[in-house]
């Protein structure tokens, strides 16, 4: 089993993937474009390990060993000997294309290139490379150390071997996988949450029910841990709007057409917990 991982992007998702992988014994290169971004990422990883140690879920020496397995760098060339590379940068196809074009020239032939995208078709990302059969989606969930699911996405040309390697990697870091066999925008999970959030936002916009009651209906009626509007605030209304727009652009399916009120919230900066106001005040 391969044990060298490179993670591109030291934000919340990238640092989370690096954290669980190092804890599982992988040697990890964490790459971002600035030292500041890398410091934020590695500080977050250390703080998370410290919390697990304080709660008795991780031994201090294991946390120290895991941290020592992470190398932070601004040098993309550091991916050269990685067996698996996971891209976890902003959800913009142009940015991902730029990264995958560069990775294609740097990584070894047998390496697999994975994207943590939640909504962009893997086939579109793979098209920037000369090895589309070695490109796969590994959609982790936030916060990565706590959430068990990893959505594996097969692009149009992804090989069985690549999918199997991606599953081995995700399972080795403690995740349970589902497989998306047809590369539709938004895959399974993002399509489901976006459809639910859009309908909940429409019900809220038209005054059918309050945000609290819509969320309560989903929690008590369907057993959801969190209602769709509270989920939107936690994820970021802007992030979900962006994902919904991606899916709508690809599918032209009206159920992914976000209501105007959701767009105005983003225009106004009311994007959820991170701004102090979304569908709820925080």
Q: Which residues are annotated as a binding site for CoA?
A: 48, 55, 118
Q: Tokens at residue 56, please?
A: 């008795």
Closest of 194, 185, 160 to residue 249, by C-alpha: 185
Specify binding-site residues: 48, 55, 118
**How far, in Å, are 43, 190, 222, 235 from residue 69 at the CA level?**
14, 32, 42, 29
Q: Which residue has the tokens 């991780």?
A: 58
Residue 118 CA to residue 242 CA, distance in Å, equals 11
Residue 274 CA to residue 237 CA, distance in Å, equals 10
Sign of the dihedral through C-alpha 176, 251, 267, 212: negative
Q: Which residue has the tokens 């979304």?
A: 278
Q: Tokens at residue 79, please?
A: 């991916």
Specify the DSSP element, H or E, that contains 153: strand 149-154
Angle at 281 between CA 278 and CA 282, to 5 degrees: 100
């Amino acid at each position: 089993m391969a044990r060298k991982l490179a993670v591109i992007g030291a934000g919340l998702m990238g640092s989370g993937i690096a954290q669980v992988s190092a804890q599982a014994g992988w040697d990890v290169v964490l790459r971002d474009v600035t030292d500041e971004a890398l410091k934020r990422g590695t500080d977050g990883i250390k703080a998370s390990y410290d919390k697990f140690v304080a709660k008795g879920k991780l031994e201090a020496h294991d946390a120290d060993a895991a941290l020592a397995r992470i190398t932070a760098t601004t040098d993309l060339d550091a991916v050269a000997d990685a067996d698996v590379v996971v891209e976890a940068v902003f959800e913009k196809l142009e940015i991902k294309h730029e990264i995958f074009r560069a990775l294609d020239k740097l990584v070894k032939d047998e390496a697999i290139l994975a994207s943590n995208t939640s909504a962009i078709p893997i086939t579109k990302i793979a098209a920037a490379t000369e090895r589309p059969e070695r490109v796969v989606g590994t959609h982790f969930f936030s916060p990565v150390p706590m959430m068990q699911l990893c959505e594996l996405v097969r692009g149009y040309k992804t090989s069985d071997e690549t999918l199997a390697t991606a599953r081995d990697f995700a399972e080795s870091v403690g995740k349970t996988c589902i497989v998306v066999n047809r590369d539709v925008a938004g895959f399974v999970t993002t399509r489901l949450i976006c459809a639910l959030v859009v309908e909940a936002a429409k019900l809220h916009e038209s005054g059918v029910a309050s945000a609290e009651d819509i969320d309560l209906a989903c929690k008590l009626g369907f057993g959801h841990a969190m209602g769709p509007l509270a989920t939107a605030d936690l994820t970021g209304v802007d992030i979900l709007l962006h994902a919904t727009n991606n899916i709508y652009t690809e599918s032209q399916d009206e159920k992914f057409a976000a209501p105007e009120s959701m767009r105005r919230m983003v225009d106004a900066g009311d994007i959820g917990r991170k701004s102090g106001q979304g569908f709820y005040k925080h």
